[in-house]
């Protein structure tokens, strides 16, 4: 079975919105875009390249697809696999795009993603895609969170874990701290939350 691996830049207060640039996602009046810029270092770069070079397909929300589709085809030197990976795009508004290969999903996204997980193929990587993430988390479809936690808080913005998050337990399978204080950690799903009686 294919795994769903969520890869996110995240603040200490859980914000994942617009890490890359000021105009990346201003929805909800978000004015802190580009918050990762001053934290770049070689250790994080090495960890990112290792993740980006694994075999993968992409599972993306429409907004992330719209941001990435005009950019990545012109930057194959940075991330060669992103253009050959199948892009599964969750959207009720678009059914086609110029960035191939792409498959557009509408309707019951959770059911369709569950079916894709059962198909042969590489793991499904999710970057950004805040609304899609909430659906995946709510329906218990995420197997791994690979998080880059930055030492800052923003106070507002789209958060990784929002309302509808189900109880679950995880184990840390890998972690490191970069020179700029980014905690890079891999959380693998272990099961449902247990309570002591």
Q: Look at residue 197 and tell me if it is in a domain.
A: no
**pLDDT, average across residues 60-70:** 94
- Is position 144 within any domain? yes
Residue 19 inside a domain? The answer is: yes
pLDDT score for 193:
58
- 87-141 pLDDT tens trace: 999 999 999 999 999 999 999 999 999 999 999 999 999 999 999 999 999 999 9
The edge-to-edge listing of strands for the beta sheet with 183-191 is 102-105, 87-90, 57-61, 124-127, 4-11, 144-150, 183-191, 169-177
Q: Judge contact between 34 and 157, C-beta under 8 A.
A: no
CB neighbourhood size of 107 (10 A): 9
124 within some domain:
yes
Residue 177 is assigned to a structural domain of this protein: yes
Give pTM, 2 decimals.
0.93
Say if 196 falls within a structural domain: no
Q: Is residue 141 part of a domain?
A: yes
Residue 106 lies in a domain: yes
What residues are paired with 102 via a beta bridge?
87
Inform me whether the pLDDT recorded for 197 exceeds 50. Answer: no
User: Domain count of the chain?
Assistant: 1
CATH code of residue 138 = 3.40.430.10
Instruction: Look over the chain and give the mean of its residue pLDDT values, rounded to a whole number.
Output: 94
pLDDT class for 162, splitting at 50, 70, 90?
A: confident
Residue 102's domain spans which residues?
4-191
């Amino acid at each position: 079975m294919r795994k769903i691996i969520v890869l996110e830049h995240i603040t200490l207060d859980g914000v994942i919105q617009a890490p890359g640039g000021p105009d990346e996602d201003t929805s909800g009046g978000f004015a802190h875009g580009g918050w990762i810029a001053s934290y770049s270092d070689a250790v994080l770069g090495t960890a990112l390249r290792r993740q980006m070079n694994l075999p993968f397909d992409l599972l993306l929300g429409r907004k992330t697809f719209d941001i990435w589709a005009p950019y990545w085809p012109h930057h194959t030197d940075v991330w060669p696999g992103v253009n050959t990976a199948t892009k599964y795009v969750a959207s009720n508004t678009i059914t086609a795009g110029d960035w191939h290969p792409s498959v557009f999903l509408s309707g019951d996204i959770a059911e369709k993603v569950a079916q894709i997980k059962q198909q042969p193929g590489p793991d499904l990587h999710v970057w950004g895609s805040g609304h899609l993430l909430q659906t995946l988390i709510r329906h218990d479809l995420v197997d791994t969170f690979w998080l880059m936690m930055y030492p800052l808080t923003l106070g507002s913005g789209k958060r990784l874990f929002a309302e509808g998050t189900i109880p679950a337990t995880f184990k840390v399978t890998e972690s490191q701290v970069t020179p700029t204080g980014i905690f890079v950690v891999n959380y693998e799903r272990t099961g449902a939350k247990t309570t002591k009686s």
